[in-house]
Amino acid sequence: MRHRHARIFIKWTTCGLEMQTKRTMKNILLIFFTITIAAGRMQADTLIEHFDDRSAGSRWTFNNGGEFPGANGSFVTSFGNSSVTSGFGRLTVDFTKGGEYVLARRLISPAITSATSAITVATQLPPGLSLFLRVEDASGQTLHYVAPRPLEYTSPRVYYTATFDTRVAPLYFWGGANNSRITGGIVSISLGVSPLKLKDGENYFAAAKTGVVALDTIRQISSSTIRLYGNERVIGPTPSLAPMLRSQGVSIHFTDNPAALDAAAAAGFDMVRMDLFWSWAETSRGIYNFTRWDKLINDAKARGLRTLLILDYGNPFYTGSSKNPPVNPESRRAFGNFAEAAARHFAGKKVCYEIWNEPNYTNFWPPVVNAIAFSNLIKETVGRIKVGDPYAEVVSGGLSGTDFGFLKTVSATGALDQLTAVGVHPYDANGSEGQIDALVYFESLLTQRATATKSVWNTECGFSSSWYGPGKNATSQHTQAKYVLRQVLGGLVSSRSLNVVYDLIDDGLDPYNQEHNFGLYAPDLTPKASGKVLRYLWKVRSGKSVEGMVQLPTTLLHAVAMRGATQRVFVLWTENKQPSTVLIPSGAVVSNMYGQALTPGTGGTVTVNSEPVYVFMPL
């Protein structure tokens, strides 16, 4: 568990979209956009393209990125049959022979000369691909922008609106004024696709080689002010494929600390995750003692907390040490005996089990990680757990990061097929939202086996305050707090039904040791900033239902909506370096992430940055 590094579904196939579904989506998108503009959330100045007339294709030219040879593809407008008048752009990509990108370009005449804060496009993007925008301005400058998949839409089967925020500096720019700002107006736009570059171990790789990207309704947005009325529709949490109810958990390192469990409950958690060490439970060959975990589970249950037990690490009787994994048939059978005994002992107490921890990391699978050996351990263990408790939920040991190569190998053996879910530890020091594209691709790999588990659980993720300076000072802990809060807010509406924060209590006092600074509480259970913001979130959530996320007209601005009997609450934050201005109704009350009152600006505006803010509106 130690770490080193920082609703609307559409059927898509590699052949394209089903037209009847496409027409339905088109109508929904247009209705949604009309509602959005009528509500005044963001002013739309120019409709650039709708693809609904049959001459649309002649306005676009395809480019295969010839300066990086190898890419192939095409761009066409698609209507399905002669009676269909609702079209869309279809960008087909093929990187099997190399290349870096393909794009479709459209000239704009006359040029758009009004101020531009964003370009939006409705899209359906397969996993493993990345969408980009290039703007050519009147000076001859080209500006290259990217828009990651939004937190609100993690299913690749869903159309969503990608927003390219032109208020911020582009990723690249060249030619003409060469000043990183749109100068003199927009004379052309290009929408392009490149392979998503993901890290696998120490190396980066192109995730997807082929795919079909649907493009629709492209608009230029002028005003950057967003209006929040309070009656916005929400995107509900994507249904989880696993039977577990959506849970927020926290990692702990104790079995007997009732006061700490009180602190966990006060921060809004409903599950704790703790090791069930094999070497602790079986100190005499074939004899198991689970007394210490009995106390933990009973104490947790008394506070409304379920327990996720990690079946982990070696046993000197069978593996030579408490660190070595079971890699031969005899030691695997012994591990299976241990797992079955634990499941039988705790049956009926709704305990979940995680088979190992970070098996792709040598600290936990010494001396060399071995995906096949881990697969064999899963196959042995999951069946034995089900013998002990047929109703137990079982997740594979959370991988350190999204280790795609390791996952592919394990999945190909069939080891994941009988599990409830697959575990992952998507650490990212810059915020968990940055892992969305990687997690969508990670999940897509699981669907390649017809019988494979398709649900992913985040069984561990957190932020060490030492990543942002000395871990014990207020500034570092404040930064940690905003990322922890955003992780939990995202977890409340995620399709991944379990989200575990690492961890509850700092493991030491060294301000520069990352392992001593992951906690939400200090060792004496004094809340750190992260503990305070979660306790406030839990206070706000009390008596309210989490509805889902509001789609706002900028990809990196997020809003989680909650509803009570007399009040609706929106929690807003942005990943963008550029703050967003949100106009709220009179009578709305605003607080920062600690619950301290904020005074709206002139005209009833709230500045939203990377630290979540709460907007309370009476019903």
pLDDT of residue 451: 57
Structure tokens at 539: 């206070």
Mean pLDDT for 430-446 is 90
pLDDT at 244: 41
DSSP state of 149: P
> In which band, very low, low, confident or very high, does the pLDDT at 447 lie, cut at 50, 70 and 90?
confident
Closest CA to 310 of 293, 289, 331: 293
Give SS3 for 31: helix
Residue corresponding to tokens 């196959």: 379
The phi and psi torsions of 18 (rounded to 5 degrees) equal -75, 130
Residue 450 confidence (pLDDT): 55
pLDDT (average), residues 565-592: 93
Which class does domain 12-223 fall in? mainly beta
Quick check: 308 pLDDT over 80?
Answer: yes
* Burial of 538 per CB tally in 10 Å (0-12, 13-18, 19+): middle
Residue-by-residue DSSP string for 479-540: HHHHHHHHHHHHHHT-SSSEEEEE-SB-S-S-TT-GGGS--SB-TT--B-HHHHHHHHHHHH
pLDDT (mean) for 469-473:
97
Domain 254-462 class? alpha beta
Contact 26, 63 (CB under 8 A): no
Contact in structure between 133 and 144 (CB atoms under 8 Å): yes
CA separation for the pair 612, 568 (Å, rounded): 16
What H or E segment, with its residue span, contains residue 317?
A: helix 316-319
Query: Which has more pLDDT, 223 or 441?
Result: 441
User: In the chain, pLDDT over 70 holds for what percent of residues?
Assistant: 89
Please report which helix (H) or strand (E) contains residue 436, including its range.
helix 436-446
Query: pLDDT confidence of 80, banded at 50, 70, 90?
Result: low
Over residues 92-121, the mean pLDDT reads 95
Tell me the pTM. 0.89
What's the maximum distance between 2 C-alpha atoms anywhere in the chain?
83
- The pLDDT tens digits of the residues spanning 150-168 come to 888 877 888 888 999 998 8
Say yes or no to pLDDT of 21 above 80: no
Tens of pLDDT, residues 274-288: 999 999 999 999 999
pLDDT tens per residue, range 204-237? 788 889 999 999 999 999 877 889 998 888 886 6
Quote the mean pLDDT of the chain.
88
**CA Rg value for the chain:** 26
Domain parsing of the chain, residue ranges: 12-223, 254-462
CB 293 within 8 A of CB 299: no
Cis peptide before 237 (omega within 30 of 0): no
Q: Is the pLDDT of residue 82 over 80?
A: no
- Statement: residue 409 has pLDDT above 80: yes
Q: What angle do CA 360, 243, 496 make, to 5 degrees?
A: 50
Residue 11: how many CB atoms within 10 A of its CB?
10
